[in-house]
Amino acid sequence: MAKGSGLSIDTDRIGCFLHHPTVINSFPDDHHHHHHNSNRRLNHHHPKLKLEPMETTQQVPNTIQFPVNLNCTSHDGDEDDEDVDPPPSGDRRRVIGEMDFFADKKHGCGNEAAAAVAGGSDKKALDVNVNTGLRLLTGNTSTCQSTADNGKCQNSDDKRAKAELAVVQAELERMNAENQRLRDALNQVSSNYNTLQMHLITLTQHQNHRDRDHKPENNSANGNSEENNNILHGGFSGGQVVPRQFMDLGLASAADANEPALSPSEEERLRSPLPVNNAAAKELCDDHAREDSPEDGPNKVARLNPAKNVDQATEATMRKARVSVRARSEAPMISDGCQWRKYGQKMAKGNPCPRAYYRCTMAAACPVRKQVQRCAEDRSILTTTYEGNHNHPLPPAAMAMASTTSSAARMLLSGSMPSSDGLIHHHPNFLPRPSLLPCPSTMATISASAPFPTVTLDLTQNPNNPLQFQRPPAQFHLPFPNPNAASLLPQLFGQAVHSNQSKFSGLQMSHDAVQQQNSLAETVNALTADPNFTAALAAAIGSLIGGGQPNNNGNNGGSISSGNNNSNDSK
């Protein structure tokens, strides 16, 4: 409705706006943060991962089948250096050599094999420096070399050596395949670990919340069974902890007190690895929405056209989930690796500093937006609020921030926060890796009372926080002594993500999928591995791991709880 008063109101605000010296051009054009082209390459061929399978007891018997030593496999010039490092003179090689020896003898051609090794053209096969067993073999080669049939023997042995080389190469391929399978298994285990971790956290929160409530009605037959059902199955959608806002938007849990228990198939889906992409998350949310009886409010629309509008509602909810990052910075905007375009600036109530609105421009229709505003009380504090999920691959520099905010948002959407008091501080016990996250609980706060579910990461409270941005020598903004530190944040994030990617290298996952697999916890791990990186940031992020749903796509952000419940924003 074109409220006629709009003009005067806006004009008034504009007037206010103009009276503040910080308003005009307070966000200069320095925020085109192009991708930091990381030189870090994906560690797709981790030598250790490749070699380990060969050391397993399962591999050794296979080597027995090969008549000739496998030493050449370690020195074959055709090999990928990354695939096979020159192994140390370890037990495996010795074992193989000895096996070769006996294998040759078993075939009754021990001397021939030795001759092939000794007189053969493949000098690589002579590499017996670590192989005592082959030393014995080579010691017998004089017989063949000293005979008149030496040439014939050599010719025959050359062929034999070639054949053996082919066999060895085949074995190498087989081992590579085995490595690949093991990597896949490792990835699967890692993924399952993350999933279980998140489930555990959620269940812990459920339990904690239930203990706090002490609601007698929870003991009722239905409620109890439903709750137990969900807990037993690791469902992360405990109804009691889902903020009403989400329910209204179609994300409510099926475990809501009045809701029937999940169907087996749906339980299975909830049990299985959490959604790793937007589609899956949406699907899951949609499932929930389908089970929810529409409430008044936003779901009125969904009642008219459930399938379509539930999607819309889900999208809306995902978009409204926000993650806010507060950090000290003299710069107008924190570099997060993404490209943003400013589309608006507004004076917000209670804050003389304008709020700038940006949208992601890395893809045509990327719905991600962010708001940037200085804190009224302390203008050295910059609050950046992310909202929405990226619909495009992210550069490494942006992946970590996106993953972080997405995880935080998904924690909100997964219902892993209480609904009653509206504002909670994450308890350290909820953190998967408490030792890594010695943060004050106030570093990460969740607001469910605000119009939009909001997570706030406060990076300003730790006095030792390296993210205390120094006055920038240039445009940006980071807390590192290095004048170029400004660019380190995204790179560090990117590095963290990279190191995660390496874990999934064998899965041939898409860029998105990799991101999706990356848990926030892993990100924190990687971050904390960097001694220069802020423990406070890790702590803040880690405090969100609880529901952290690794989702590449995701920048979600938010603070500001539109309702401006963030006192520091003081709008």
Partner DNA sequence: CGTTTTTGACCAGCGC
Partner DNA sequence: GCGCTGGTCAAAAACG
Nearer to DNA, 65 or 305 (CB): 305
Q: Torsion over CA of 386, 390, 394 and 400, rounded to 10 degrees?
A: 40
Is 29 near DNA (CB under 7 A)? yes
91 and 128 Cβ atoms separated by less than 8 Å: no
Select from 139, 260, 451, 483 the one that contacts DNA (CB under 7 A).
451
87-to-61, 101, 113, 226 alpha-carbon distances in Å: 19, 20, 23, 56
What is the footprint of DNA within residues 303-342 (CB under 7 A)? 339-342
Select from 19, 28, 56, 268 the one that contacts DNA (CB under 7 A).
28
Q: Return d(Cα 484, Cα 472) in angstroms, integer.
A: 9
237 and 416 Cβ atoms separated by less than 8 Å: no
Q: Whole-number minimum distance, CB 297 to DNA, in Å?
A: 7
What is the footprint of DNA within residues 86-145 (CB under 7 A)? none
Nearer to DNA, 2 or 148 (CB): 2
**Residue 356, SS3 per DSSP:** strand
User: For 386, phi and psi rounded to 5 degrees?
Assistant: -105, 145
Of 26-34, 123-131, 163-171, 411-419: span binding DNA (CB under 7 A): 26-34
Residues 6+ apart with CB under 8 A from 152: none
Q: Whole-number minimum distance, CB 72 to DNA, in Å?
A: 56
What is the footprint of DNA within residues 506-525 (CB under 7 A)? none
Q: Whole-number minimum distance, CB 411 to DNA, in Å?
A: 20
501-to-232, 245, 566 alpha-carbon distances in Å: 32, 35, 35
Nearest Cα residue to 326 out of 227, 193, 456, 431: 456
Of 22-30, 121-129, 150-158, 546-554: span binding DNA (CB under 7 A): 22-30
User: For 445, phi and psi rounded to 5 degrees?
Assistant: -125, 150
Q: Whole-number minimum distance, CB 342 to DNA, in Å?
A: 4
Is 296 near DNA (CB under 7 A)? no
Nearer to DNA, 357 or 504 (CB): 357
Q: Return d(Cα 243, Cα 447) in angstroms, integer.
A: 10
Instruction: Tell me the residue type at 457.
Output: L
Nearer to DNA, 195 or 383 (CB): 383
Nearer to DNA, 18 or 474 (CB): 18
Q: Return d(Cα 310, Cα 261) in angstroms, integer.
A: 20
Select from 286, 560, 565, 566 the one that contacts DNA (CB under 7 A).
560
352 and 376 Cβ atoms separated by less than 8 Å: yes
The residue written with tokens 């978009």 in the block is 319
Q: Whole-number minimum distance, CB 91 to DNA, in Å?
A: 59
Residues 6+ apart with CB under 8 A from 437: 428, 431, 524, 538, 539, 542, 543
Of 21-29, 97-105, 440-448, 493-501: span binding DNA (CB under 7 A): 21-29
Of 24-32, 80-88, 178-186, 498-506: span binding DNA (CB under 7 A): 24-32
Nearest Cα residue to 441 out of 421, 470, 461: 461
What is the footprint of DNA within residues 195-254 (CB under 7 A)? none
Q: How many residues bind DNA (CB under 7 A)?
A: 44
What is the footprint of DNA within residues 339-378 (CB under 7 A)? 339-350, 355-357, 361, 369, 371
Q: Whole-number minimum distance, CB 294 to DNA, in Å?
A: 16
For 339, which DSSP code?
B
Interface with DNA (CB under 7 A): 1-3, 5-7, 9-11, 14, 17-18, 23-25, 27-29, 31-32, 339-350, 355-357, 361, 369, 371, 451-452, 560, 562, 564, 571
